[in-house]
Every structure is written in structure tokens, then in C-alpha cells.
């Protein structure tokens, strides 16, 4: 295990020394709360995050816990938000009041994260946002709210950046775009960002279509896409709808010269790849908060253990949400070590000073974790992979590409694929 | 509850004089005293928070019961009234700077207006037809709000929902840092709703509604216009639900269509009333007082361990209650009460 | 509008509409005979889908072949739900004039229990089954027709015809119709009403077993997939006329084509609002639906 923060290491030692004999009086465990959608439509995401966080916690405890706290162990408590804002708020109250957590992480759904993180702010309890991308979460001047992952606007920008980049690289690229997305919070806010950026960058949006979640047939919408003849299609759907859409696009041989560009959701869910025929998702571009094909440079033994356990527990390979749950716990561990206390204010101050440049906290694929004055990790970025020969391989940003990887651009029509 | 009853048993001389009516009054007074003293006796914020949630649902279920319980129609669309009230309260405060206290009342009036538009054609329908139509209306409104960013210049903000702008502790803005003020506000709202229901039971309107419920055709033959009285009751119910939606917005400081106008919210209100005892003053309150903590405790203890189990338990309670307590939980409580008072008299 | 696109839309609408109608058949039958609105209808379809999925995942049985398991299984489930959960309520309320609204609540409880038991047992992940049969689309002029959906569509029509013939021609069918018309008279003439009710419920859910197997090849399977069909099934049944078997299919076709064509002009979200509006309108203007009663 590496702790990069050597200057703070000194501080840590100083703190331990100052505490001296009092170290025995330190709590033997630190409780961390998680608010996640463990039931309801987003239950899959909640479960993956939970497993990732639990594996990280087990690793941390097995490696001697929080050393600056005399080896205190981390204990996780979970609250099920059911994706409902009021229940998320009540569960946050419970974790903070009853379980006496040092910090809360969560809650994937923006609609839950928004009011629940306000509760954390009110009780001066650090809140580490996981998964929720709504821009405003870190724009309210709340000093206890942090976010590790991308904002919504970053996601949209990366998709357009990648298209621009491929165009520059090859001299070929789309002129017209179609957008097709799920008609609730996430899909609609993503579409709004893409709409804005596409206009700035000179793309012509020829179809802008939302669909209510949990459809059973997309034939009508595919007809509309076919009629609009876009060069590329931007989609944002959760797993069930994404599965239906991908299957029907293959059945109906709906070709897009510059491919399908998905922003996570269903296309980052490992259960999706288990359920779909590889032919249906060939050449898909997927933007996600994690570099899917291994990390650059060092790999830590923790990762092999993590990936193996994750597969054992859930039956499929590591997901972006599992990775975020895992990384979140290492960010908290780092802050706890530096705070040398489970006091919420001290932990907040330590979190605010986070500057991680190596170690398992970077498992999601960031090069660094450092929060700006709003609590947003400005080094958060996604990566875009293309599905090549059944493997999702990173094609953007270019510096994250493996040597043998080049995007297929434009993508071959269904009829021309072997 | 059981505890309080046994206390009463220890004081039979009271029951001797009073009988069933006094016994019930005593129980209500005792519950009132407990309710008033609760946040002082147990100031733990999470406890008070949970009590507020219970009271909010009790209030909403009582509002639902005001029309559905007495008319015998099942509305699974009451969330649309809560949604109108909640959205109106937040928007009126954030756009016009008008105090949420007033906003809640405006929201209630708007909800009542919507209820007339919805109720006028649908009250002719009976049983499941009525229930399905109320779902359809509420779902139309939910999907529309989720996909509408601005309407006539009003920023509904689509599926993202809208937040209450924070101004800090302020009575005018109905924002408090502590929980206790919210507690007393919702307690007063609940008491008013219970009083309204109590008054309804003894009013001409209540009498007509019961007549309509018993035999619609006979009521009509007697010159009672079912549509008119049902609409009046629905409008009052919608007004109360709308005001409750306003409280929801102020307390959670966020409203979104998916939750506040969702079918599940409507179902919750109906379930609490029915399990507690619809068509009675205290039934919905009883349902909320029992069901909300069950949901909360099972979620807290089981939600993280076995996802889904808490909802399974909830479903089983619902099935058992419908099968074995058709008049609601209030029914056995009443018979216990009257037996106690009889025992008291004979002793 | 481009006539080819319109042709496409109509064909797709008919296919999916027929499937809506087929899924709603059982709902209509159960309501027509028992006057029970089965809120757990979608959940039972979900059970059928998962059964087909697991039979393929564990035993390698093709979803189309799994019909021989899913239909009896779902029949038994329906029979059981009626006998154990709903029957006590019906007998208790038999003296009352009001229609058994509580039955709707009971089935809502069944829906909560089944959906969340599925979540506990199978987890929240999406699954899909696939058939090993090679089924290229058949061409209707220039329009390709998806075979899996066509099979579902044909099964819906055949099931409806079979159901009508069964209700008309067999002893059991006639007993069911008699019970639907007048329960007390049927009981007086020696019909075992509780048994008829349980069989009717069983047949209604067995149809969901059939469609569970047929839809498993193209519908994403999750513990709450029932919701996708739930409310739409109600719309279909009301549109066609509650209790009418041909009405159920007709209602499905109308909704399917209506949504397919509407979707060409407005987003799917607005199309959903429009079909809810259509539902309300039909209930208010023509409460009997497009077709009469059973």
C-alpha cells in the first residue's frame, strides 16, 4: 500500500505522538454510512456499489485498519433510498443521528443526493457524492459536500470531444447527430448538455427524442432514427431499455456511419454484456467514469483480489459502480489517516485537503484526486471505449490508449460485418 | 397503545362514570398530551424526524380518507394533488418571494381546482373503473411534468425536480434548522384534518356521503345529488392533500414528479387509510402510526442486508389486514375499548 | 408522411399490439368472471419470464419449448393465489353490494410480495433468454417482420380464439360463463363456484406463462418488468371492454397502432400521455369499451 502524501505523513506522525497515551481512548471503529438504491429500479447499481465498498473496507481492515487511529476498523452501514428523495433524506438522518457515522457516501440518484447531501451539510457531516452527476450538487456552496466523479457536463463534453478528436485524427466524422435517451432526470439532463455543446461545436442535431423508462418495444423510435438519417447516435438508457434498444437495432440493421455513442448507464453495466449478443454491441462507443481496460502503469495486488471477489459475489466482472464504491472507501481511508480522528469536522478538513496521486483510490482510472473549493474533484474524467472484437478498449483520451488499439472510424455497416 | 389501555384499566372508576365515549375521549386526550410532549421529552433529532414523517403520512392519509373513506371510492391518484401543492409552494416562494405559508394555501386551492376538473367526469365511474382513472390522470400529470422544463414561463425543471432556496432559520420562509417547529406545524395540520373529519361525520355532507356510499340510487331518489356532494368532499380532500404537499416540500426542501406525483405515493396514502380503517376519524392516523415505523424499521434493519425483504413484509401485512381486518385496525381497538368500558361498568 | 414509414409503423404497431392484447387476455378473463382487478398481473408475467429464463440457463431448454413447464406452473400459481388469498375475501364480501375493491388491494399486496421476492431470489440484474432457432425476418413486401414478435402476435390471436371456443363449447367453459353471469344462480344449479373461480384464475395466469415463454426471447427480464405491462394491460382491457376476450385483442391492436403512429409525430413520452388520455376518454364516453361483455 502506498501513501503518496509524504508531507502529511509527518503531520500524521506528529498527531499520533501528540495523542500519545490517549491513543488507547480512540474509538476502535469508524462507522461510514452509505445511502444507495438497494431496491427498486436502480437496485443493480446500488448492489454493485455496495459490494465494491465492502471489499475495500475488508481490505483496509485486514491491512490493519486506520493506523493513525490505533488500527481502528471501518464498519459500513447502509441505508436503502429506494431511489426516493424523502426516504433518502430520512435514511441520511438515521445514519447521522443513530449510527453516528463519521461520513456518508452516496447516493447515485441525483434526486436523492440533492436533498440528502443537504442534510449532511446541516449536520456538518462530510458527504462524499458517488455516481450522481447533476452539476448543481457541488455548486451550492456546501463545504461538507464532495464529489469524486464527473459532473454531468463533463460527460457530455467528453463524448463530443472524442468525436472531434477522431475527426481530427482521420479527417472523417459525423455532421449530424441524433439523441435518444430515457425521459427521466439523468437522460434528460445529459441530453440538455449535449444539445448545448453540439450547437457550439457545429453539429446538427436531427433528432432529439426521449422515451419513458421500461419500454417493451422501440420499433417506432428506430423508424424515426432511420428516417432522420443521422451520422451518429447518442444514447442514454438504463440497462433494461438499453438491452431492448441494442437488440432491436441489430435486428432491424439500423446502421449509423459513425456509430452509437452511449454515456454509461446500461452500457457500463456488466449484466448488460452478459445478456446481450456481442454482435449487437460491436463498435459501440461507451463513455464511462472508469477506464475499463485496466489502468496505466502500476497495478496493485488489491485490484486482483477486488476483481476476483466482485466476480464471486455478483457473478460478473467489475463495474464502474463497483469501482467507484471501492475507490470512495480508499479516499475516506486516506482522509481518516490524515485526520487521525473520526471527528466529522476534522475529517471534512482532511477531505478538503485530499491530494491523492497513487494507490487504490485511483482505481477508477483518475490520475489524481483533489477537490476544488466547491468539493468537486477536478481531476475526475471519464474514458471512452470502443467495443472491438468483443472487448471494450479505451480509445479516448488518446494517451490512455493501449499501443495496439486504434478506433474503427467510421464503423462498418451490419451487413459488412463478419 | 396497549400500554395506555392497561393504564386505564388501573383506573376503573373513570371508566365507570364515562363508558365507551369517555374512554375514547380519554384515549384521544392522552394521545394528544403524549404528542405535544414528545419532542420535549425525546429531543433526539432523528426520533423527531421520524415522528414528523409519521405525522405527515397520517395527515395525508386523513386527507385521502376525507373523500375516499366516506364515499367508498378508491383514489390511487391523490399524489397529483400533493404534487400540485408541493410544486406551487416552492415555485411561489422561489419565483415570487411569497411566503410558503401563503404558498401552501395557494397550492391547496390549485389542487382543489384540479380535483374538480378530474372529479367532475370521473365520479360517475364506480369501483375499479374509478380507481384506474385516477391512476391515469395522475400518471398523465407526472409524465407531463417530468418532460416539461418550462410551462408558460414557469420553470418546472422537468424530471430534475426543484429545490427550495435556502435562506436559513426563518418563520416567514418556513425554514428551520431544528426539527421541532416542523413537528408542531404538522401536528397542528393533523389535528385540523382530524377535526374536519370529525365535523364531517356529524354534518349534512357526511350524512349524504354515507347515504351515497350505502346505496347510490336510493340516495339519488331522495334528492341527494351524488356528484355534487362527492365533488365538494373531493375538493376539500384535495385542498388538504395539496397543503400537505406544500409541507413535504418545505420539510424535505425538494420536490420531484417521480416521487411526489408517483403512483407509489398514492398507494401509500390509500393503504394507510384502509389498513387503519377507512371511513373513520382515527383509522388513517392509526394506519400511518403503525405502518410508517414498520417500513422504516424493516428498511433500516433489513434493507442493507436482504434488499426487498422489507417490502415483502409490508405486502404480507397488507394482505393479512385486508383479509382479517376488513374494517381496519381501528375495529378491534374499538371493541377492546367498548369491552373495557363495559367491564368497568359491571365492576 | 412517407407511406413506407407509415406501413412500417402500422406493421410494428399490430405486432406489439397483438402481444399487449395477448398479455391482457387473462386480466380480462379474471375480471369478467370474478370481478377482481388483478394488480399482480404484470408480476405473474414476470414469473413466467424468469421461469423461461432459468429453464434455459440451468437446463438448456429453449424458451419456446419451456411453454410445457411455464403454462402448468403459472396455472398452479393462479389457482393457489385464488384459493388461498382471494377466495376468503370474495366469500366474506358476497353479501355486500359494492364491488370488491379490497380484492384490488389484496392483489396489490401480492404484487409487492412477488416482485420483491424475485428481487431477493434473482437479484436486480437484467437477464435475457434467446432461442436457438434461426429466425430471419419474413418480408411483407418491403417491410421486414420480426419473427419472434410475429410468433407472439399469432399466439395471442390463437389463444384468444381457443379461449372463446373453450368457453363456448366445453362443460367447464359453459360453467364459467354461467358463473360470470350470475354467481348465485350458478351455485344453485350445482356448479362448484369456488372451483370455477380458481380454475378461471388459473387459466388467466396460465396465459401469462405462455407469454412469459414467448416474450422471454426479446423482452429484457428484471424483477420489475411486470410494471411495463401492468398499466398498459389495464388500458388495453378497458379499451376493448372489460371481460371481453376478442375485445382484449382488439384493444391491444388499437393501442399498439395508435402508439406506433403517434410516436412518428410526437416523442414517446407524449405518446404515453396520449394513450392515457385515450383510456380516460373511453372510460368516460363508452365505459363498456369497444366490444360488449363476455
* Among A41, A76, A85, the residue to mutate for chain B (most B Cβ within 10 A): A85
What is the pLDDT confidence band of residue B345, given thresholds at 50, 70 and 90? low
DSSP string, A256-281: -TT-EEEESGGGG-HHHHHHS-GGGG
Task: Report the gap between the CA of C88 and the closest CA in chain A (Å).
Answer: 31
DSSP string, A142-154: -TTEEE-S--HHH
Contact C275, C235 (CB under 8 A): yes
Place of cell 490520475: A367
Residues 6+ apart with CB under 8 A from A209: A178, A179, A180, A181, A221, A224, A225, C267, C268
Length of chain C: 294
Contact A53, A364 (CB under 8 A): no
Helix (H, G, I), strand (E, B) or coil at C146: coil
Place of cell 400511518: B288
Instruction: Please state the ipTM of this predicted complex.
Output: 0.89
Q: How far apart are the first and last CA of chain C?
A: 39
Q: Under an 8 A CB cutoff, do C128 and A275 touch?
A: yes
Can you tell me the distance from the alpha carbon of C216 to that of C151, in angstroms, rounded to the nearest whole number?
A: 12
Highest mean pLDDT among A145-154, A409-418, B5-14: A145-154
pLDDT value for B245: 96
In a domain, C130, yes or no: no
Dihedral (CA of B6, B11, B13, B14) sign: negative
Helix (H, G, I), strand (E, B) or coil at B240: helix
What is the average pLDDT across A255-282? 90
Of A43, A46, A97, the CB nearest to B44: A97
Percent of chain B with pLDDT over 70: 91
Percent of chain A with pLDDT over 70: 92
The CATH architecture annotation of domain A6-150+297-370 reads: 3-Layer(aba) Sandwich (3.40)
* Among B77, B122, B124, B128, the residue to mutate for chain C (most C Cβ within 10 A): B128
What is the average pLDDT across A11-39? 63
What is the average pLDDT across B269-282? 86
Q: Under an 8 A CB cutoff, do B307 and A185 touch?
A: no
pLDDT value for A3: 41
In chain B, residues with a C-beta closer than 8 Å to the C-beta of A85 are 161, 252, 254, 256, 259
Chains touching C (at least 3 CB pairs under 8 A) are A, B
Q: Say if residue A331's pLDDT is above 80.
A: yes
Q: Under an 8 A CB cutoff, do A240 and C260 touch?
A: no
Q: Under an 8 A CB cutoff, do A111 and B259 touch?
A: yes
What is the average pLDDT across A298-324? 84
What is the pLDDT confidence band of residue B53, given thresholds at 50, 70 and 90? very high
More confident residue, C99 or B192: B192
Highest mean pLDDT among A315-329, A400-414, B311-325, C10-24: C10-24
Can you tell me the distance from the alpha carbon of B159 to that of B257, in angstroms, rounded to the nearest whole number?
A: 6
Domain CATH code at residue C251: 1.10.3470
- Domain total for chain C? 1
Contact status of A3 with chain C (Cβ, < 8 Å): no
Task: Report the gap between the CA of C196 and the closest CA in chain A (Å).
Answer: 33
In a domain, C154, yes or no: yes
Q: Say if residue B255's pLDDT is above 90.
A: yes
pLDDT value for B141: 93
pLDDT digits (tens, 9 = 90+) for B130-147: 888 898 999 999 999 988
Q: Under an 8 A CB cutoff, do B307 and C287 touch?
A: no
Contact status of B126 with chain C (Cβ, < 8 Å): yes
The fold of A153-288+382-416 is: Rossmann fold (3.40.50)
Can you tell me the distance from the alpha carbon of C127 to that of C222, in angstroms, rounded to the nearest whole number?
A: 7
What is the pLDDT confidence band of residue C47, given thresholds at 50, 70 and 90? very high
In a domain, C244, yes or no: yes
* Among B258, B268, B293, B309, the residue to mutate for chain A (most A Cβ within 10 A): B258
pLDDT value for A21: 41
Where in chain B does DSSP place strands (E)?
A: 150-151, 154-155, 162-163, 254-255
Contact A358, A298 (CB under 8 A): yes
Q: What is the mean pLDDT of chain C?
A: 88
Q: Is the peptide bond before A410 cis (omega within 30 degrees of 0)?
A: yes
> Does this chain's domain A6-150+297-370 share its CATH topology with A153-288+382-416?
yes
In a domain, C134, yes or no: no
Classify A265 in phi/psi space as left (phi over 0), alpha (psi -120 to 50) or beta: left
pLDDT value for B305: 63
Q: Under an 8 A CB cutoff, do B127 and C98 touch?
A: yes
Q: Where are the domains of chain A?
A: 6-150+297-370, 153-288+382-416
Alpha carbon A129 to its chain's center: 10
Of C99, C105, C270, the CB nearest to B127: C99
What is the average pLDDT across A87-99? 91
Q: Under an 8 A CB cutoff, do A111 and B258 touch?
A: yes
Can you tell me the distance from the alpha carbon of B156 to that of B167, in angstroms, rounded to the nearest whole number?
A: 21
Strand-pair partners of C221:
C127
pLDDT digits (tens, 9 = 90+) for C106-126: 898 999 899 989 988 988 888
What is the pLDDT confidence band of residue B106, given thresholds at 50, 70 and 90? very high
What is the average pLDDT across B253-272? 88
Contact status of A49 with chain C (Cβ, < 8 Å): no
Q: Say if residue A289's pLDDT is above 50.
A: yes
pLDDT value for A8: 39
Q: Under an 8 A CB cutoff, do B146 and A78 touch?
A: no
Q: Under an 8 A CB cutoff, do C224 and A40 touch?
A: yes
pLDDT value for B8: 38
Where in A11-163 does DSSP place strands (E)?
A: 29-36, 73-80, 103-107, 127-130, 145-147
What is the pLDDT confidence band of residue A299, given thresholds at 50, 70 and 90? low
Contact status of A110 with chain B (Cβ, < 8 Å): yes
More confident residue, B245 or A398: B245
Task: Report the gap between the CA of C285 and the closest CA in chain A (Å).
Answer: 27
Q: Say if residue A18's pLDDT is above 50.
A: no
Of B139, B267, B308, the CB nearest to C108: B267
pLDDT value for B267: 85
pLDDT digits (tens, 9 = 90+) for B109-130: 999 999 999 998 888 787 778 8
Residue C249: which domain range?
Answer: 3-122+145-285
Alpha carbon A126 to its chain's center: 19
pLDDT value for B128: 76
What is the pLDDT confidence band of residue B344, given thresholds at 50, 70 and 90? low
Percent of chain C with pLDDT over 90: 48
In a domain, C165, yes or no: yes
In a domain, C138, yes or no: no
pLDDT value for B224: 77
Can you tell me the distance from the alpha carbon of A255 to that of A230, in angstroms, rounded to the nearest whole number?
A: 9
DSSP state of C37: -
Q: Say if residue A24's pLDDT is above 50.
A: no
Q: Say if residue A14's pLDDT is above 50.
A: no
Of A80, A115, A184, the CB nearest to B253: A115
Task: Report the gap between the CA of B276 and the closest CA in chain A (Å).
Answer: 22
Q: Where are the domains of chain B?
A: 39-263
Of all residues in chain B, the one with the smallest CA distance to C90 is: B323
CA-CA-CA-CA dihedral for C15, C19, C22, C28, to nearest 10: -110
Residues 6+ apart with CB under 8 A from B165: B93, B94
Contact status of A373 with chain C (Cβ, < 8 Å): no
Can you tell me the distance from the alpha carbon of A177 to that of A197, in angstroms, rounded to the nearest whole number?
A: 12
Contact status of C127 with chain A (Cβ, < 8 Å): yes
Lowest mean pLDDT among A334-338, B22-26, B50-54, C17-21: B22-26
Lowest mean pLDDT among B343-347, C46-50, C157-161: B343-347
Contact A379, A148 (CB under 8 A): no
Q: Under an 8 A CB cutoff, do B132 and C37 touch?
A: yes
More confident residue, B159 or C1: B159
Contact status of B131 with chain C (Cβ, < 8 Å): yes
In a domain, C139, yes or no: no
Can you tell me the distance from the alpha carbon of B224 to that of B48, in angstroms, rounded to the nearest whole number?
A: 45
What is the average pLDDT across B299-315? 73
What is the pLDDT confidence band of residue B85, given thresholds at 50, 70 and 90? very high
Contact status of A182 with chain C (Cβ, < 8 Å): no
Amino acid at each position: 500500500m502506498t501513501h503518496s502524501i509524504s508531507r502529511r505523513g509527518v503531520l500524521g506522525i506528529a498527531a499520533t505522538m501528540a495523542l500519545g497515551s490517549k491513543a488507547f481512548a480512540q474509538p476502535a471503529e469508524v462507522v461510514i454510512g452509505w445511502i444507495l438504491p438497494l431496491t427498486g429500479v436502480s437496485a443493480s447499481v446500488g448492489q454493485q456499489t455496495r459490494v465494491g465498498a465492502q471489499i475495500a473496507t475488508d481490505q483496509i481492515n485486514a491491512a490493519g485498519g486506520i493506523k493513525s487511529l490505533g488500527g481502528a476498523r471501518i464498519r459500513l452501514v447502509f441505508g436503502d433510498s429506494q431511489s426516493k428523495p424523502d426516504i433518502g433524506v430520512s435514511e441520511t438522518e438515521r445514519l447521522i443521528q443513530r449510527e453516528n457515522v463519521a461520513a456518508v457516501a452516496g447516493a447515485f440518484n441525483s434526486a436523492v443526493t440533492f436533498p440528502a447531501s443537504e442534510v449532511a451539510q446541516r449536520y456538518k457531516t462530510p458527504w462524499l457524492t458517488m455516481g450522481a452527476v447533476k452539476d448543481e450538487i457541488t455548486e451550492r456552496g456546501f463545504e461538507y459536500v464532495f464529489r469524486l466523479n464527473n459532473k454531468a457536463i463533463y460527460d457530455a463534453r467528453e463524448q463530443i470531444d472524442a468525436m472531434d478528436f477522431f475527426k481530427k485524427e482521420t479527417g472523417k466524422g459525423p455532421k449530424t447527430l441524433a439523441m435518444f435517451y430515457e425521459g427521466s432526470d439523468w437522460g434528460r439532463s445529459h441530453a440538455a448538455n449535449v444539445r448545448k455543446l453540439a450547437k457550439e461545436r457545429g453539429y446538427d442535431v436531427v433528432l432529439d427524442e426521449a422515451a419513458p423508462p421500461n419500454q417493451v418495444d422501440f420499433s417506432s423510435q428506430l423508424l424515426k432514427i432511420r428516417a432522420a438519417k443521422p451520422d451518429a447516435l447518442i444514447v442514454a438508457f438504463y440497462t433494461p431499455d438499453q438491452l431492448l434498444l441494442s437488440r432491436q437495432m441489430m435486428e432491424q440493421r439500423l446502421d449509423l456511419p459513425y456509430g452509437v455513442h452511449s454515456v454509461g448507464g446500461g452500457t457500463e453495466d456488466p449484466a448488460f454484456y452478459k445478456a446481450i449478443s456481442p454482435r449487437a454491441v460491436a463498435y459501440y462507443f461507451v463513455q464511462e467514469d472508469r477506464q475499463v481496460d485496466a489502468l496505466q502503469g502500476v497495478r496493485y495486488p488489491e485490484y486482483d483480489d477486488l476483481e476476483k471477489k466482485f466476480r464471486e459475489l455478483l457473478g460478473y466482472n467489475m463495474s464502474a459502480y463497483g469501482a467507484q464504491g471501492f475507490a470512495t472507501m480508499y479516499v475516506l481511508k486516506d482522509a481518516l489517516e490524515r485526520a487521525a480522528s473520526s471527528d466529522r469536522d476534522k475529517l471534512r478538513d482532511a477531505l478538503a485537503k485530499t491530494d491523492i496521486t497513487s494507490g487504490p483510490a485511483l482505481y477508477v482510472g483518475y490520475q489524481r484526486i483533489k477537490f476544488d473549493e466547491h468539493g468537486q474533484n477536478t481531476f475526475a474524467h471519464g474514458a471512452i471505449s470502443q467495443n472491438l472484437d468483443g472487448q471494450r478498449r479505451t480509445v479516448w483520451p488518446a494517451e490512455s490508449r493501449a499501443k495496439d488499439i486504434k478506433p474503427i472510424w467510421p464503423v462498418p455497416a451490419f451487413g459488412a460485418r463478419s | 397503545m396497549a400500554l395506555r389501555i392497561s393504564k386505564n384499566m388501573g383506573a376503573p372508576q373513570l371508566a365507570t362514570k364515562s363508558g365507551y365515549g369517555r374512554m375514547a375521549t380519554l384515549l384521544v386526550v392522552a394521545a394528544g398530551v403524549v404528542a405535544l410532549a414528545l419532542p420535549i421529552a425525546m429531543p433526539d433529532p432523528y426520533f423527531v424526524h421520524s415522528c414528523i414523517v409519521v405525522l405527515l403520512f397520517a395527515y395525508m392519509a386523513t386527507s385521502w380518507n376525507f373523500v375516499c373513506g366516506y364515499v367508498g371510492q378508491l383514489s390511487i391518484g391523490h399524489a397529483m394533488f400533493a404534487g400540485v401543492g408541493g410544486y406551487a409552494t416552492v415555485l411561489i416562494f422561489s419565483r415570487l418571494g411569497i411566503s410558503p405559508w401563503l404558498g401552501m394555501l395557494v397550492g391547496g386551492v390549485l389542487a382543489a381546482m384540479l380535483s374538480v376538473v378530474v372529479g367532475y367526469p370521473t365520479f360517475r365511474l364506480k369501483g375499479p373503473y374509478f380507481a384506474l382513472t385516477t391512476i391515469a390522470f395522475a400518471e398523465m400529470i407526472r409524465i407531463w411534468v417530468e418532460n416539461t422544463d418550462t410551462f408558460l414561463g414557469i420553470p418546472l425543471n422537468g424530471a430534475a425536480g426543484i429545490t427550495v432556496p435556502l435562506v436559513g432559520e426563518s418563520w416567514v420562509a418556513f425554514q428551520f434548522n431544528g426539527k421541532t417547529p416542523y413537528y408542531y406545524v404538522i401536528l397542528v395540520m393533523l389535528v385540523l384534518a382530524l377535526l374536519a373529519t370529525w365535523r364531517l361525520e356529524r354534518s349534512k355532507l357526511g350524512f349524504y356521503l354515507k347515504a351515497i356510499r350505502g346505496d347510490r340510487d336510493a340516495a339519488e331518489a331522495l334528492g341527494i345529488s351524488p356528484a355534487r356532494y362527492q365533488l365538494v368532499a373531493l375538493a376539500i380532500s384535495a385542498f388538504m392533500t395539496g397543503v400537505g404537499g406544500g409541507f413535504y416540500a418545505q420539510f424535505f426542501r425538494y420536490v420531484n414528479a417521480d416521487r411526489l406525483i408517483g403512483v407509489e405515493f398514492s398507494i401509500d396514502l390509500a393503504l394507510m387509510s384502509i389498513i387503519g380503517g377507512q371511513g373513520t376519524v382515527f383509522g388513517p392516523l392509526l394506519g400511518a402510526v403503525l405502518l410508517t415505523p414498520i417500513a422504516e424499521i424493516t428498511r433500516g434493519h433489513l434493507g442493507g442486508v436482504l434488499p426487498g425483504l422489507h417490502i415483502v413484509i409490508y405486502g404480507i401485512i397488507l394482505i393479512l389486514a385486508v383479509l382479517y381486518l376488513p374494517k381496519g385496525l381501528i375495529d378491534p381497538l374499538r371493541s377492546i375499548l367498548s369491552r373495557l368500558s363495559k367491564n368497568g361498568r359491571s365492576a | 408522411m412517407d407511406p413506407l414509414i407509415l406501413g412500417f409503423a402500422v406493421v410494428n404497431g399490430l405486432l406489439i399490439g397483438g402481444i399487449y392484447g395477448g398479455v391482457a387476455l387473462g386480466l380480462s378473463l379474471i375480471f369478467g368472471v370474478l370481478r377482481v382487478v388483478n394488480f399482480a398481473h404484470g408480476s405473474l408475467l414476470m414469473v413466467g419470464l424468469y421461469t423461461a429464463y432459468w429453464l434455459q440457463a440451468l437446463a438448456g431448454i429453449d424458451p419456446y419449448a419451456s411453454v410445457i413447464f411455464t403454462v402448468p406452473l403459472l396455472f398452479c400459481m393462479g389457482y393457489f393465489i385464488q384459493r388461498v388469498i382471494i377466495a376468503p375475501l370474495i366469500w366474506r364480501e358476497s353479501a355486500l353490494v359494492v364491488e370488491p375493491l379490497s380484492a384490488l388491494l389484496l392483489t396489490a399486496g401480492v404484487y409487492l410480495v412477488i416482485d420483491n421476492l424475485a428481487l431477493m431470489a434473482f437479484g436486480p440484474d437484467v437477464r435475457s433468454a434467446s432461442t436457438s432457432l434461426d429466425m430471419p425476418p419474413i418480408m411483407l413486401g418491403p417491410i421486414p417482420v420480426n419473427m419472434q414478435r410475429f410468433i407472439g402476435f399469432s399466439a395471442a390471436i390463437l389463444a384468444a380464439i381457443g379461449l372463446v371456443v373453450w368457453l363456448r363449447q366445453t362443460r367447464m367453459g359453459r360453467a364459467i360463463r354461467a358463473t360470470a353471469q350470475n354467481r348465485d344462480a350458478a351455485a344453485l344449479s350445482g356448479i362448484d363456484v369456488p372451483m370455477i373461480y380458481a380454475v378461471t384464475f388459473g387459466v388467466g395466469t396460465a396465459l401469462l406463462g405462455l407469454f412469459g415463454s414467448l416474450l422471454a426471447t426479446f423482452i429484457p427480464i428484471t424483477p420489475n418488468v411486470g410494471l411495463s405491462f401492468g398499466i398498459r394491460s389495464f388500458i388495453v382491457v378497458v379499451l376493448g371492454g372489460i371481460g371481453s376476450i376478442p375485445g382484449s385483442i382488439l384493444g391491444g391492436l388499437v393501442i399498439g397502432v395508435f402508439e406506433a403512429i403517434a410516436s412518428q409525430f410526437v416523442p414517446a413520452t407524449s405518446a404515453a400521455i396520449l394513450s392515457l388520455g385515450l383510456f380516460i376518454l373511453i372510460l368516460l364516453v363508452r365505459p363498456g369499451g369497444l366490444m360488449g361483455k363476455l
